[in-house]
């Protein structure tokens, strides 16, 4: 079946909506759209009216592109104050005459593992089983096995409810249903996932506009996370301060002129603009890149310290992504700081090759992965919508988030 998934990434700088078609091992981009964030700061709604207007406009534009309605999305939840803990639970199999482990029993044992572990002001974003045990036998998937006792050990990720419900309320008002959600670290992992990463401990660093997420991923499970209060907007502000220009002009210079490594920059490459004093000034690439490199080094060095703080495990890979990672010469800078093992994110999908779409792509791939494990069918659009997409030449279920891919509706 064609899986059509609408993926929403609510960021500090822009809100991005990507519509992907996943079929077998192929991913096709049906629509990509973004709009400047309004009423949102660091991924959290601070003004519902402004956020409503922006998100409504984003969906309206995208629906016009596809000529269909979008009613369901997968969405990111900001990682601020993400808490990770190891939980366990155990139940007795009730039917001793037919003691076969079913999805319903897995639901119950996972629910048992979270009892009294989530306070009223927090919510679960991921619950990832590490292993199950049926009687005295360990297994990764107990469905169909026979036994009298089922237990589980899992990793529980929770965040404050405020991280989620501001966006939820806006989408609910628009009439958009959230079918799944996750934090960016878990989503980004699936953007760049390969089989070798399943048995390794690694790091995903996503440098966004206002914050940088540093996530430890152990065997596919997010085990620790740190949100640094620094990102691309700090570079924009630095450039704006040095040249007495607006922050938007600082961002423009960063993207049009700047390099991540100043040694490779040229004095002769310049950009002319008017500063706040209404004076015409000339910015050269060398000076501009020195400002950029200084702030980037601070962000990356601090991220490196956070890795050492978050885990003592041996790190097999470091992947750096996010919109800031698209700066020219960025790959050379990160190799200078992290060594040759670091990987600059690269999304090999036509239409979303910029790393600013990393979280959107990962959310869709992660959701698709869970659906496949549960052997469920899903599409954000009904059969008539799919026919409409086909006609235009473009190539419902909600599952309980608490229990991930093991649960039924």
Of 139, 160, 181, which marks where a domain is finished? 160
Per residue in 293-313, pLDDT tens?
999 999 999 999 999 999 999
Strand partners, 83: 158
Q: What's the CATH number where 151 sits?
A: 3.30.1490.110
Of 295, 321, 343, which marks where a domain is finished? 295
- What tokens were used for 330? 């960025």
Q: Is residue 92 part of a domain?
A: yes
| pLDDT recorded at residue 377 | 59
| pLDDT recorded at residue 42 | 87
371, pLDDT greater than 60: yes
Of residues 403 and 77, the one with the higher pLDDT is: 77
Show the domain range for 278: 232-295
Per residue in 198-208, pLDDT tens?
999 999 999 99
Per residue in 13-61, pLDDT tens?
999 999 999 887 889 999 999 999 999 998 899 999 999 999 999 999 9
Q: Long-range pairs for 130-134 at CB < 8 Å and ≥24 separation?
A: 130/86, 130/154, 130/155, 130/221, 132/106, 134/101
Q: Is residue 154 part of a domain?
A: yes
- What tokens were used for 287? 């000076």
Of 295, 312, 334, which marks where a domain is finished? 295
Q: Is residue 141 part of a domain?
A: yes
Q: Is residue 374 part of a domain?
A: no
Q: Is residue 89 part of a domain?
A: yes
Mean pLDDT confidence for 92-106: 87
3-class DSSP state of 33: strand
| pLDDT recorded at residue 351 | 92
What distance in Å separates the CA atoms of residue 311 and residue 322, rounded to the nearest whole number?
22
Minimum mean pLDDT range among 9-13, 27-31, 93-97, 346-350: 93-97
What distance in Å separates the CA atoms of residue 405 and residue 409, rounded to the nearest whole number?
11
Q: Is residue 313 part of a domain?
A: no
pLDDT band at 382 (very low <50, low <70, confident <90, very high): low
Per residue in 228-279, pLDDT tens?
999 999 999 999 999 999 999 999 999 999 999 999 999 999 999 999 999 9
Strand partners, 221: 218
DSSP string, 133-192: EETTEEES--TT-B-SEEEEEEEEEEEETHHHHHHHHHHHHHT-EEEEEEEHHHHHHHHS
378, pLDDT greater than 60: no
Minimum mean pLDDT range among 38-42, 65-69, 275-279, 391-395: 391-395
392, pLDDT greater than 60: no
Q: What's the CATH number where 258 sits?
A: 3.30.420.40
- What tokens were used for 55? 């998100």
- Report the chain's mean pLDDT, rounded to a whole number: 90
pLDDT band at 103 (very low <50, low <70, confident <90, very high): confident
Q: What is the pTM of this model?
A: 0.89
pLDDT band at 162 (very low <50, low <70, confident <90, very high): very high
395, pLDDT greater than 70: no
126, pLDDT greater than 50: yes
360, pLDDT greater than 60: yes
Q: Is residue 236 part of a domain?
A: yes
Of residues 107 and 164, the one with the higher pLDDT is: 164
Number of independent structural domains in the chain: 2
* Distances 274 to 191, 216, 235, 287, 303 between C-alpha atoms, Å: 40, 44, 19, 17, 35
| pLDDT recorded at residue 403 | 37
Q: Is residue 109 part of a domain?
A: yes
Query: What angle (nearest 5°) sits at the alpha carbon of residue 158, between those of residues 153 and 160?
Result: 165
| pLDDT recorded at residue 397 | 28
Instruction: Count CB-CB contacts under 10 A for residue 326.
Output: 18
């Amino acid at each position: 079946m064609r899986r059509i998934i609408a993926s929403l990434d609510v960021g500090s700088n822009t809100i991005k909506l990507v519509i992907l078609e996943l079929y077998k091992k192929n991913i096709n981009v049906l629509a990509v759209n973004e709009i400047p964030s309004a009423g949102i700061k660091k991924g959290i709604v601070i003004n519902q009216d402004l956020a409503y207007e922006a998100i409504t406009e984003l969906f309206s534009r995208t629906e016009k592109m596809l000529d269909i309605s979008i009613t369901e999305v997968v969405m990111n939840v900001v990682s601020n104050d993400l808490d990770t803990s190891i939980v366990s639970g155990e139940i007795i199999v009730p039917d001793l005459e037919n003691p076969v482990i079913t999805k319903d029993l897995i639901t119950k044992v996972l629910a048992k593992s979270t009892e009294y572990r989530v306070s009223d002001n927090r919510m679960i974003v991921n619950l990832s089983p590490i292993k199950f045990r049926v009687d005295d036998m360990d297994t990764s998937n107990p469905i169909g096995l026979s036994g009298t006792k089922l237990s589980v050990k899992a990793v529980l990720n929770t965040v404050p409810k405020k991280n989620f419900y501001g966006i939820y309320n806006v989408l609910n008002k628009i009439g958009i249903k959230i079918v799944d959600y996750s934090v960016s670290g878990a989503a980004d992992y699936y953007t760049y996932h390969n089989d070798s990463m399943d048995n390794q401990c690694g790091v995903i660093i996503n440098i966004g506009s206002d914050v940088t997420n540093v996530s430890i991923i152990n065997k596919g499970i997010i085990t620790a996370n740190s949100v640094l209060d620094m990102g691309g907007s700090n570079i924009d502000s630095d450039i704006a301060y040095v040249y007495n220009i607006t922050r938007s002009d600082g961002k423009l210079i960063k993207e049009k002129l700047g390099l991540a490594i100043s040694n490779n920059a040229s004095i002769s490459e310049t950009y002319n603009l008017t500063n706040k004093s209404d004076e015409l000034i000339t910015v050269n690439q060398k000076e501009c890149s020195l400002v950029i490199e200084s702030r980037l080094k601070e962000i990356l060095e601090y991220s490196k310290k956070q890795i050492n703080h978050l885990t003592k495990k041996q790190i097999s890979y470091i992947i750096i992504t996010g919109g800031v990672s698209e700066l020219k010469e960025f790959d050379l800078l990160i190799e200078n700081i992290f060594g040759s093992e670091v990987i600059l994110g690269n999304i090999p999908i036509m239409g979303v090759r910029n790393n600013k779409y990393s979280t959107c792509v990962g959310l869709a791939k992660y959701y698709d992965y869970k659906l496949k494990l549960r052997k469920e069918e899903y599409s954000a659009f009904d059969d008539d919508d799919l026919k409409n997409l086909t006609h235009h030449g473009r190539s419902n279920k909600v599952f309980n988030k608490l229990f991930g891919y093991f649960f039924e509706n």
